[in-house]
Every structure is written in C-alpha cells, then in structure tokens.
Structure 1
Amino acid sequence: MRQASCTLVLTALVLGLTSAPGFAERNLVPTLERSFDVCPDRPAEPVWMQEIPLRQSYQRVLVQDIYRAQNLERIVETVSCACEIRFPSWDAAEAVFRESYASDERWEMLEASDAYNRRANAARTAAKAICDAAGNW
C-alpha cells in the first residue's frame, strides 16, 4: 500500500511539473512585429537586408553599425533626440555601404563594423544624456 501511494505521489508530482510550462507557453504569443516604447514609427530595415543569406549577414551588420554610428553622432551634433534624428531612414547608411564597402571582402567589412562600433560607442554617452533629457532613450 505504501509503495502504491508513493508511486501515486511521484506520478502526480511529475505530471504537475511537466504540465506547468504548458500554461506559460500558452500565454506567450510569438510575433514577428516589433513594438517600441520610444519612437514607435521607426523605419524598417531595407528589405534586402532582411532577406540577406545567413553567410552574408556581416553585410547587414555593417549597415546596422553604420546606421547606429550616424544616428548617435547626429544626436550629439544637433543636440536633439527627436525621433526623425534618432531613427531616420536607412538611406544614408545604405549609401555609405554601397559607395564604400559593398565590394569589400568579408574581413574588410568586419574591420569597418568594428570602426563604426567604436564611433557609436564614443558618441553614445553624450547622445544618451541628450535623449534622457528629452525622455526619448
């Protein structure tokens, strides 16, 4: 009798533990749409960047790094964190990529990404202060 009750308790425990994540999973609804608390009307990345093959994703990363550096530097230059300053169209970043890097080798693009990250990080503190003051960070 005691063995049967232990088995029953263990079975109930296992069922309870394995079914609990099911409740959490049912409450999560995955979505591909991104929503933002700050500047919700941000321009989407260009389609070609979203569709780039995985083996060439370093190209997408480079354009993203150019975009980020340009935008943080622009915030500091203009001392403004308006949404159109912080998140402009991707045209300028795309143009820099196409004019200066599109024909580069992978390693050259990785070096360029590193340089743009350093530029962005150099401007980030000042840009954050400007955007915090505007309630836009």
Structure 2
Amino acid sequence: MRQAGCTLALIALVLGLTSAPAFAERNLVPPHERSFNVCPDRPAEPKWMQEIPLRQAYQRVLVQDIYRAHNLERIVETESCDCEIRFPSWDAAEAEFHEQHASDERWKMLEASDAYNQRANDVRLEAKAICETAGNW
C-alpha cells in the first residue's frame, strides 16, 4: 500500500511539473490588441498582410520594410516627427509593393527588403534624434 501511495505522489509531482511550463507559456503570449506608448493611434497593418500564409511571410516583411524606410526618410525630410508623419496610412507602402514587387520571385523580394532596410538604417539615427526631441521615439 505504501508503494502505491508513493507512486501516486510521484505521478502527481510529474504532472504538476509538466503542466507548469505550459501554463507559464500561455501567460507570455501577448494580447492580440497592441497598445503603444508613442503614437497610440497608429494605423493597423492592412488585413491581407495580417492574414498572409506563413510561407509567404517575406511579402509582409517587404511591405513593412518599405513602410519603415519611407517613414524614417519622411521624418528627416520634414524634420518633423508628428504621429501622422512617423506612422501614416499603409497606402503608399502597399502601392509601392504592388506596383514594383508583387510579381517578383521570393529571392528578389528578399533583396528588396535588404535595400529598404539599408535605406532606413542610413537615416535612422537622424530620424531618432528628431523624434526624441518631439517625444515620439
């Protein structure tokens, strides 16, 4: 009888330890609704980008890279970091993607992403200084 009690205690311990990480992981999942400290009313990504299949995620990343590069360049050009400049609608980035890249093969889109990232990185520090002054970084 004592052996059965020990076995049950061991099973309970194992079950308790194996379910704890799963419970902890669930608590780490971010909520679907994102909130921002800076420019909280920024426009959401277009729905088609949010629903893109995982195998085509590079298309979503390319649109995000276009958006980021344009926005940082616009901050530097205008020397303003108003929320409408830092986070405009996605229309221009979407249009550029559809007009210039939508029919490209995957490797070509990845190259384009690299180019947009380089453009964004070239002006990032200058844009950051402008936005920090405005309190929008």
User: What TM-score results when the alignment is normalised by the length of structure 1?
Assistant: 0.81
SS at match of 1:117: helix
Per the TM alignment, residue 31 of structure 1 is displaced from its structure 2 partner at its CA by 1.4
Aligned length: 123
What does residue range 1-137 of structure 1 map to in structure 2 within 5 Å?
18=17, 25=24, 28=27, 30-137=30-137
CA deviations over 1:55-113 (Å, ceiling 9, x no partner): 00000000000000000000000000000000000000000000000000000000000
Aligned AA (2:54): L
SS at match of 1:96: helix
> 2: CA distance between counterparts of 1:74 and 1:101?
21
Structure 1: which 5+ residue stretches go unaligned? 1-10
Structure 2: which 5+ residue stretches go unaligned? 1-9
> 2: CA distance between counterparts of 1:53 and 1:82?
33
User: What TM-score results when the alignment is normalised by the length of structure 2?
Assistant: 0.81
CA deviations over 1:6-62 (Å, ceiling 9, x no partner): xxxxx9xx79x95xx68x94xx47411111000000100000000000000000000
Aligned AA (1:88): P
Aligned AA (1:102): A
> 2: CA distance between counterparts of 1:57 and 1:31?
21
RMSD: 2.4
Identity %: 74
Moved >6 Å (runs of 4+): none
> 2: CA distance between counterparts of 1:101 and 1:136?
31
